[in-house]
């Protein structure tokens, strides 16, 4: 537990908006907490890492079945995808092939074991999403994705630097 936040006894000058109330800072904290939660769940349920799960989920759901598409749809670096995919291949959860119509791309498919892990893990991850959304009020649930849309867009800008 942090010490009492309401008593500010600092003698130093303090920023207009407290640093700990910066939006960016809150995103870092939330990201950190969600990462830890995700790692715990995946470790308990499937024995895979976060990166591994992201690839498994993308392929298992059909959202993206090539490295290229995973990189596009997520923010995972191609280098990480490459290494993770080959790790999953060695672990026997995934197979790869080069399609005849474009042999640059790496086409992926889950193996039986991969599909088993996907099927077993997905419900837990969805339960988690529901638990997270369930912590919000109806009004908040309605607004949250729009908020993310606008913040992400604003994060692309550098205009505020005059």
Interaction residues for DNA, span 120-159 (CB under 7 A): none
User: Are the C-beta atoms of residues 42 and 50 closer than 8 Å to each other?
Assistant: yes
21 binds, among a copy of itself, DNA, none (CB under 5 to 8 A by kind): a copy of itself
Q: 94-103: list long-range contacts, CB under 8 Å, 24+ apart.
A: 94/55, 94/56, 94/59
Rounded to a whole number of angstroms, the minimum distance from the CB of residue 68 to DNA is 3
Q: Is 4 in the site for a copy of itself (CB under 8 A)?
A: no
- C-alpha distances in Å from residue 58, one per residue of 50, 74, 94: 12, 9, 12
Q: Kindly identify the residues of this chain, within the stretch 64-103, that bind a copy of itself according to CB under 8 A.
A: 65, 72-75
E strands along 18-160, which residues?
94-97, 107-110
Q: What is the largest CA-CA distance in the chain?
A: 69
Q: Is 33 in the site for a copy of itself (CB under 8 A)?
A: yes
For residue 54 the two structure tokens come to 């992201």
Complex with DNA: residue 71 or 141, whichever CB lies closer: 71
Rounded to a whole number of angstroms, the minimum distance from the CB of residue 99 to DNA is 8
106 binds, among DNA, a copy of itself, none (CB under 5 to 8 A by kind): DNA
Rounded to a whole number of angstroms, the minimum distance from the CB of residue 152 to DNA is 15
Q: Is 112 in the site for a copy of itself (CB under 8 A)?
A: no
Q: Is 14 in the site for a copy of itself (CB under 8 A)?
A: yes
User: Are the C-beta atoms of residues 115 and 123 closer than 8 Å to each other?
Assistant: no
Angle value at C-alpha 5, between 17 and 154, nearest 5 degrees: 30
Task: Report the C-alpha gap between 82 and 76 in whole angstroms.
Answer: 10
Q: Which residues bind DNA (CB under 7 A)?
A: 32, 35, 39, 49-51, 66-68, 71, 76-83, 85-86, 96, 101-106
């Amino acid at each position: 537990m942090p010490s009492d936040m309401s008593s500010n006894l600092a003698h130093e000058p303090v920023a207009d908006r407290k640093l700990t109330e910066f939006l960016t800072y809150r995103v870092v904290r939330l990201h950190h907490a969600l990462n830890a939660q995700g790692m715990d769940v995946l470790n308990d349920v499937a024995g895979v890492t976060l990166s591994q799960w992201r690839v498994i989920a993308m392929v298992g759901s059909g959202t993206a079945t090539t490295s290229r598409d995973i990189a596009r749809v997520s923010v995972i670096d191609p280098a990480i995808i490459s290494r993770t995919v080959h790790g999953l291949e060695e672990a026997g959860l995934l197979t790869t092939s080069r399609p005849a119509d474009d042999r640059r791309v790496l086409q992926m498919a889950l193996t039986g074991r991969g599909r088993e892990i996907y099927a077993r893990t997905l419900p837990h991850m969805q339960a988690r999403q529901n638990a997270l959304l369930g912590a919000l009020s109806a009004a908040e649930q309605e607004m949250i994705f729009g908020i993310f849309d606008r913040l992400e867009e604003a994060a692309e800008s550098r205009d505020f630097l005059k």
